Amino acid sequence: MTANLYDLLNVGESASTDEIRAAWKDAIADLDPTAPRFRAFSDAASVLLDGERRASYDAELAAERAAEEPEPTVASEPEAASEPEEPEEPEEPVAEPAPTDAAPRPAPSGPPGWALGAAAVGALAAVVLAVVLYVQPGGKLFSGDSPKDVAGRNAAAERDTVAAEGAAERMVAPVFSYGYQTMTGDLQRVTGYLTPKLAAKQTRIWPELTDGAQKQQLTVQASSEGAALTRLSKDGKVASVVVFIRQDSTRKGGAQSSLHMWATLTLLRSPGADQGWLLNDICVDAGCA
């Protein structure tokens, strides 16, 4: 059987939503949003983080496995027992002559196996330690910075990460929700979360969106299903965050549907904003940078 979405994210099939979200964030942490693996990890998480889509996927896995199981074999009828034969007399064992003038086996040279194993583990640990220290946001292993300086920058980067991810998740509902009866007020609400550049762009396209929503009597309610920081500028003022978005829609006649997607949000730090960040760009295709 080929690898499945659980294998891709390296989680068990009974993993919780929090475990899946954490595995996804770890998987994309060092990937560029334009990388094919980034999209593969994000698409997998978008399925497993949604209850209905995950249940449907689990049912497909179960059906596939059932189809691959071999059919049970039918046991053949035992043959009729034949008359027992008379046992033969056992032959007397012949003793092998002991070897003479055998050369003694030389003692093994070099360090014992456990010593080589310990040395290999020690070398591996040193390499892992060097990699961990090198990739920390606070500085490289031999940067000359004091441990206090490195720790301080790491703590600041962690605070910026949590702040950016939280701001992106909280933006999803007010920015991606709207209703055909409240489009004017919706635009005012949406632009409050945007930079002037993006607010101007959204204002230009809003009449077309309003026309389509009113013709369909469309109401959209959005929610976030998870977020992960992918980039953070050195000064901590620009952040790229991938968010999973669910949009539940109701149309004329009461028809309902749900859309699941992921988007890359570019945030700019803005002390005057309610959350400290403003949304500067939205990208929902595979070429998001």
- Whether residue 74 is contained in a domain is answered as no
Across the beta sheet with 178-179, the strand order is 178-179, 219-232, 238-250, 256-269, 277-283
Residue 162 shares a structural domain with residue 260: yes
- Whether residue 83 is contained in a domain is answered as no
pLDDT at site 77: 55
CATH number at residue 254: 3.10.450.230
pLDDT at site 87: 53
Is the pLDDT confidence value at 254 over 70? Answer: yes
**Residue that terminates a domain, selected from 64, 79, 102:** 64
- Whether residue 267 is contained in a domain is answered as yes
Provide the pLDDT confidence category of residue 289 given band limits of 50, 70 and 90: low
CATH number at residue 44: 1.10.287.110
Is the pLDDT confidence value at 182 over 50? Answer: yes
- Whether residue 84 is contained in a domain is answered as no
Query: What is the three-state SS of 24-47?
Result: HHHHHCCCCCCCHHHHHHHHHHHH
CB atoms within 10 A of CB 246: 18
Provide the pLDDT confidence category of residue 212 given band limits of 50, 70 and 90: very high
Per mean pLDDT, which of 102-116, 172-186, 265-279 is the most reliable?
172-186
* Residues of the chain above pLDDT 90, percent: 39
Provide the pLDDT confidence category of residue 106 given band limits of 50, 70 and 90: very low
Residue 171 shares a structural domain with residue 276: yes
Query: What total number of domains does the chain contain?
Result: 2
Q: Quote the pTM value.
A: 0.61
- Whether residue 263 is contained in a domain is answered as yes
The answer to whether 242 and 230 are in contact (CB under 8 A) is yes
Long-range contacts of 20-25 (CB under 8 A, 24+ apart): 20/45, 20/48, 20/49, 21/45, 21/49, 21/226, 24/49, 24/226, 24/228, 25/228
Provide the pLDDT confidence category of residue 288 given band limits of 50, 70 and 90: low
CA 27 – CA 44 distance, rounded (Å): 11
CA 160 – CA 86 distance, rounded (Å): 88
**Residue that terminates a domain, selected from 64, 96, 112:** 64
pLDDT at site 117: 33
Q: What is the residue range of 181's domain?
A: 147-283
- Whether residue 107 is contained in a domain is answered as no
**Residue that terminates a domain, selected from 14, 49, 64:** 64
Burial 18-33 (b: 16+ CB within 10 A, else e): eebbbbbbebbeebeb
- Whether residue 94 is contained in a domain is answered as no
- Whether residue 249 is contained in a domain is answered as yes
Provide the pLDDT confidence category of residue 159 given band limits of 50, 70 and 90: confident
Mean pLDDT, residues 69-86: 57
pLDDT tens digit sequence for 2-59: 678 999 899 999 999 999 999 998 998 888 777 778 888 888 898 898 888 899 999 9
User: Which pair of tokens denotes residue 218?
Assistant: 């469309």
User: Which pair of tokens denotes residue 282?
Assistant: 């939205």
How buried is residue 252: exposed, middle or buried, by Cβ count under 10 Å (0-12/13-18/19+)?
A: exposed
Q: Which residue has the higher pLDDT, 100 or 120?
A: 100
